[in-house]
Structure formats: C-alpha cells, structure tokens
Amino acid sequence: MKNENRLLTKEEAKNLNPGDEHYTSYVGYPKWYDVIGALQFRLLCSLGLREYHKLFDFGCGSLRAGRLLIPYMNRGNYFGFDPNEWLIQDAILNEIGEDLINIKQPVFENDEACLGKSFKRSFDYILAHSIFTHTGEDKLRESLQYFSDMTKNSGIIVATFFFEGKVSNNGRQYSGWIYPGCTHFNHDFILEVFSEYGFSGALLPWFHPAGQKWYIASADKSKIPPSKLINQLKGTTLFSEFDMNNETSGNKLKTSIWDRLLFHIGR
Ligand SMILES: C[S@@+](CC[C@H](N)C(=O)[O-])C[C@H]1O[C@@H](n2cnc3c(N)ncnc32)[C@H](O)[C@@H]1O
C-alpha cells in the first residue's frame, strides 16, 4: 500500500500525511511542497547566493529547494545529499526531468559514508532545511563537523530547528535520526553548539509556515549580517494564504492581509 503512494499524482497526494511515501509528502506537508522550496530559495538569494557559488543541499530530499536551485546554479555547482535515493529519482521524474540534469549536472550522493570523502570540497553555502528538526544532539554535532570541513572557514550555513516545546534538555534525550517525529533545541544551545564547531550564528526572522526557526552560521564572523539587516529578512509573501500571526497553524487569514503582513514585519 505504502509503495502505491509513490505512484499518485501530485494532486492525488495532497491529502497524504508528512512522512508518507510520496515525494511531496515524505519531506513534509504535501500542500506546502512548493512554498517551502520557494522559502529556501528566496532566503539563499537574499543572503547573496549567485550562480557561480558552490552549494551543498544537505538532506536535499525530493528537491523541494533543488528544483529551483538547480536551474539557477551554474553547471556542476549544486550538490545534494540524501540517504533516500528514491526521493531524488521521483523529483527528477516528476519535477525537473533528465534534460535539466544533463545540462546542469548536479552532483548527488546517497551514502553518508561518502560525505567525508567524495564531498570533501569547499562550499560557499550549505543548506540544511528541516534536518536538525529530526536529529538528536549526536547527529547535529556530526553534521556540524562535516560542515566545518566543507566550508573551509568562510562558507555560509543556513539551517532550521524547532525550538524547545515541552522538551527541556536541548534534544539530549534524542539520538540519531527521528522521522517523521521531530526534535527540539533551544536558542542558547544552538548558538553554543555552533560556537563549539567554530561558527558564529544568528537567528533569522524568516517566515516558516510550520514554525521552524532559521539560523545562519559561518566560521567567518563577517558573513553574519548585523542585526539591523537581519531584521529585514522576514520572508514575507504578499497575498500569502498563511496566518502570519500564528505561524504554526497554517490557518487561513481571518483579518486584512495587509494588517497581518504589517504585524509580521513589525511596523
Ligand atoms: C523533512 S525532510 C527535508 C528535505 C529537504 N531538506 C526539504 O526541505 O525538502 C528530511 C530529509 O532528511 C533526509 N535524511 C534522512 N536521514 C538523513 C541523514 N542521516 N542525514 C541527512 N539527511 C537525512 C530524509 O531522507 C529527508 O529527505
């Protein structure tokens, strides 16, 4: 039954649950497949991503962001890692096609053991969206060690986390990979662990419909924008269907969209 889900069309898959086996649902709510990819792409562009940079999409999944990033980047500059190869295959089949793969020659890796070997190169940007929302502290640390080797003191890391809810010990009770369940860390802990691996970091107020929190980190402190500029990175979408006042609900707007947007950008 599960495998049959993979054969559903995108429209038919809209009502599946996050974690269900379809390329649009395994990575999260299928109804947000497009916007969550766009949020990642827009944020990276706002942070200066250019076509000539080298970008590593860690846990690239079904190319939610990759289907926008691959056409944007120059040939050979998009690198994606995901242990679930079928997600990449289904995204190529249903979203981007083999022609784009041939033209842009993205590099994909599915074997975690290769991260320290074939992927041992220097990246300008590393994207880890909705990865550390599913890892225990051990995996987070392991990944930051990879990132430290991969950014060579200057690259920019963009990663999301869930803030602590009911959990009170910084995710330490979790270990390994938890999916589709979620893990939580608190702000101070996130900055502390960044710093242990040599990174400065900051929270970005970039919108996320599921309430994930965006962070920027870099070993080069000058890559962290000053707070005045960071505060402009709101990710606001005009005519958005999301309730900006209640990010986690994804409710439909109840009051004027303009009031909500002004509330979100804090004016
Ligand atoms: C919530 S999805 C996010 C996917 C993608 N970043 C996105 O935003 O669409 C989490 C992804 O992490 C992948 N994953 C599973 N184990 C992993 C691991 N050990 N390291 C990195 N990614 C992993 C899953 O296959 C899945 O594609």
CATH value at residue 8: 3.40.50.150
Strand partners, 78: 55
CA separation for the pair 23, 204 (Å, rounded): 28
Q: Is residue 64 in contact with ligand 1, taking CB distance under 6 Å?
A: yes
As given in the structure block, the two tokens for residue 119 are 């992927």
What is the span of the domain harbouring residue 257? 237-267
The atom number, within ligand 1, closest to the CA of 64 reads 9
Domain co-membership, 262 together with 157: no
Run of H or E including 200: strand 200-204
What is the model's pLDDT at position 224?
96
Domain co-membership, 9 together with 29: yes
Residue 74: DSSP 8-state: P
- Residue spans of alpha helices (H) in the chain: 2-5, 33-46, 66-72, 85-91, 97-104, 137-151, 187-196, 227-230, 257-265
Q: Is residue 176 in contact with ligand 1, taking CB distance under 6 Å?
A: no
The atom number, within ligand 1, closest to the CA of 87 reads 27
pTM metric for this prediction: 0.91
Q: Indicate the SS3 state at residue 58.
A: strand
Q: What is the pLDDT along the chain (267 residues), one digit of tens a residue?
A: 457 899 999 999 999 999 999 999 999 999 999 999 999 999 999 999 999 999 999 999 999 999 999 999 999 999 999 999 999 999 999 999 999 999 999 999 999 888 766 666 799 999 999 999 999 999 999 999 999 999 888 999 999 999 876 555 666 678 899 998 899 999 999 999 999 999 999 999 999 989 999 999 999 999 999 999 999 999 988 777 765 544 444 445 455 656 666 766 665
C-beta of residue 58 within 8 angstroms of C-beta of residue 126:
yes
List all residues 6 or more positions away from 108 whose beta carbon is below 8 Å from its beta carbon: 60, 79, 80, 81, 82, 85, 88
Domain co-membership, 93 together with 19: yes
In the chain, the number of structural domains is: 2
Domain co-membership, 140 together with 253: no
Q: Is residue 130 in contact with ligand 1, taking CB distance under 6 Å?
A: yes
Q: Is residue 48 in contact with ligand 1, taking CB distance under 6 Å?
A: no
Domain co-membership, 100 together with 220: yes
Domain co-membership, 256 together with 221: no
Domain co-membership, 214 together with 98: yes
Domain co-membership, 169 together with 249: no
Q: Is residue 27 in contact with ligand 1, taking CB distance under 6 Å?
A: yes
Domain co-membership, 124 together with 248: no
Domain co-membership, 75 together with 172: yes
Cα-to-centroid distance, 60 and ligand 1 (Å): 6
What is the model's pLDDT at position 148?
93
What is the model's pLDDT at position 49?
98
Domain co-membership, 152 together with 189: yes
Domain co-membership, 163 together with 208: yes
